[in-house]
Amino acid sequence: MPNDLANLQPRLVWDYFLALSAIPRASKQEAEAARWVADQGRALGLQVETDGVGNVLIRKPGSPGHEHAPAVAMQAHVDMVCEKNEGTVHDFATDPIRVRREGDVLRATGTTLGADDGIGVAAGLAALAEPGLVHPPLELLVTIDEETGLTGANELKGGWLRAKYLLNLDSEEEGHLTIGCAGGVDTEAARAVTWEPVPAGGVALRVKVHGARGGHSGSDIHLGRANAIQVLAQVLTALRVPYRLSSLQGGNKRNAIAREASAVVVVATGDADALRAQVANQSRVWAGAFGALDPGVTVSVEPGAATHVASAADARAFVGLLLALPHGVAQMSPAIAGLVQTSTNLGVVRTEAGFEVNLLTRSSIEATKDALADRIDAACALAGFTTTRVGGYPGWKPEPGASLVGVVDAAWRAQSGEPIHVMAIHAGLECGLIGEKYPEMEMVSFGPDVWDAHTPEERVSIPSVQRFWTLLVDVLERLA
């Protein structure tokens, strides 16, 4: 371990985090990491259980004299979003995350870091391992596949947990206490394509949008950053040379704002230079359009390869749909200033056997979530696409008067001298699903500063993790 990582504090938290970072744990491929979590519990001599989908539950009796206090569950998810920069050589199925320190932050090398939610898992394990901690009976629930379907929380069985209180350790803003979140639903759209031979005398070129900041499709959706898929559709629409579409792809995750997108087009050899000039102009247009909101947005052209092209009618329908589909904020909350109520993220597009589009719609209000999903269905139907809704999950209703909110606020005031900022978020948290199974359980969510989650710029504040740990310890001691 490099010396600049060996001296991080709190030592227990960072040791667990760095060990977890060495284990590949993409969503739906996190079984090895979940087994590692279970092994840590067994190594501490604690009771460990797993359920049918791979969630891990570790129980620890209360400290002497506190055995009969109401139990507290800590909860985090073991999977991570796997994003990397184009050109980064990294296999998320086999390679460890290459963690490095830059001053007071940790980040990865060309990939996501996995502090979302590796820090939460590490803090929960550290709380179980800390020998001097005074605590009530503890449970650590580590769920699987939070990022691509909330599978672990969705399949969680009622009656498994015994806790009265739940501390979700999956928040990313120090000094903020989350007590509510949005629900969501995925829309998967598909259309069959008529493929035709590549026209004789044509040249294949790849038109690429890259350099966008991307971000979390919930917490960053209001920031006005570029969606590379929609920028690419605008660029293709603005071309004034005839082209045939061979392929189009963009985005990697339905819950990440698309940072990159590209299309392979075939043009007459004599039109290639004109296309390059028009794309260069579009790059200037879009760099100016986003300005400081997303200063790296670039559109470029490079050689491509094509074995077939889509029919002209299919290509028009596809590009037109990408222009017409909603992306971004649809409605702000009328009740909570600054909170996005409803949004959608145009997350992933692919051309495989046919055309495929995936969107994630979020809202704290079920009616507006369904209404926006209906709008998406209608636009897709007009373009000849069929749609399927999958992965729907409920929101989490805020309860600002809950006793647990007061406990965490008191602990934060003692640490910082200021009240904690109580809020709801537009992103999804597992608390909504857990609350469905355990309606009497009081829940809150807090964590350290994690910036640019779901992107290769993800980084975590080292001093903030220390303060997060101090807060967690104090809350557990107060609940004892």
Active site residues: 79, 146
Say how far apart CA 159 and CA 155 lie, in whole Å.
Answer: 12
Task: Quote the CA–CA distance of 310 and 308 in Å, as a whole number.
Answer: 7
Q: Among 101, 218, 256, 116, which Cα is nearest to 172's?
A: 116
E-strand ranges in 39-150 read 47-50, 56-60, 72-77, 99-102, 105-108, 138-143
Instruction: Tally Cβ neighbours within 10 Å of residue 193.
Output: 21
Nearest to 392 by CA among 157, 117, 188: 188
Amino acid symbol at 164: K
DSSP 156: P
Among candidates 198, 194, 188, which has minimal Cα distance to 356? Answer: 188
**Amino acid type, 187:** T
Helices of type H across 227-294: 228-238, 272-290
The residue to which tokens 């299309």 are assigned: 263
Q: 239, 255 in Cβ contact below 8 A?
A: no
3-state SS assignment for residue 327? coil
DSSP one-letter string for 405-451: HHHHHHHHHHHHSS--EEE--SS--THHHHHHH-TT-EEEE----EE
Q: Looking only at Cα atoms, what is the longest distance across the chain?
A: 84
